[in-house]
Amino acid sequence: MKTALTANELLHLYLPGKRTELVRGRLVVSEPPGFRHGAVTARLASLLTAHVAAHHLGTVVAGDAGFTLERNPDTVRGPDAAFIRKDRVPEPVPAGFAELAPDLVAEVLSPGDRPGEVLSKVGDWLKAGTPLVWVLDPRRQMVRVYRADGSESLLGETEVLEGEAVLPGFTISVAALFAD
């Protein structure tokens, strides 16, 4: 009896109206995140894309583009937005899941997200080698920044989010991320 799903099986799985990820071979299904989540994600992805394109830094993906982070059993996570440095973008660009950890991951909290599940995602990104993870909280209008060195910061709406060494020169006020 087969119990673990693979990344390839996930790629060909179709569950209409659902978001899916694979965590150590286990399928995780969730509801669509809602309008506010989508607006914040689009705003951030747009700002990241403009900065990355202007400075020829790499590629930004959004909309839960999948990344295979582990094999046997497989883990595939889909961030709300992610940045990959130019020298790390796969050639050719994969039609399926990328076999790497992004340089920056942004997760936007949804109303149904549970703290333990969010921390599990953050842990998976960091363990796989992502140096910088942002968790945006639209309800509280704050951003928690997690770094590969184990440090973290909590930024309120009067503070500035920075790309640090991962995304040089990128800055945005936290309030601007959540402006309606």
pLDDT digits (tens, 9 = 90+) for 112-156: 888 888 999 999 999 999 999 999 999 999 999 999 999 999 999
pLDDT of 30 reads 82
Residue 44 has pLDDT above 50, yes or no: yes
Residue 156 has which token pair? Answer: 């309120």
Let me know: does 44 contact 51? Beta carbons within 8 Å: no
Q: Is 1 within a domain? A: no
**Domain assignment present for 114:** yes
Say if residue 1's pLDDT is above 70: no
Closest CA to 131 of 154, 101, 88: 101
**Cα separation, 39 vs 49, whole angstroms:** 15
Residue 157's contacts (CB-CB under 8 Å, 6 or more residues apart) are 141, 142, 173, 174, 175, 178
Most confident of 6-15, 27-36, 77-86: 77-86
- Residue 25 vs residue 57, higher pLDDT: 57
CA dihedral 8, 31, 34, 98 (to 10 degrees): -10
Tally of domains in the chain: 1
CATH of the domain at 40: 3.90.1570.10
* Burial category of 117 from C-beta neighbours within 10 Å (exposed 0-12, middle 13-18, buried 19 and up): middle
Q: Which residues contact 21 (CB under 8 A, 6 or more apart)?
A: 27, 28, 66, 76, 77, 78
Query: Within a domain: residue 2?
Result: no
Query: To the nearest whole number, what is the mean pLDDT of the chain?
Result: 92
**15-26 pLDDT tens trace:** 777 788 788 888
Give me the domain span that covers residue 162: 7-177
Comparing 173 with 111, the larger pLDDT belongs to 173
* Residue 19: partners with Cβ closer than 8 Å, 6 or more residues away: 29, 30, 31, 32, 33, 64, 78
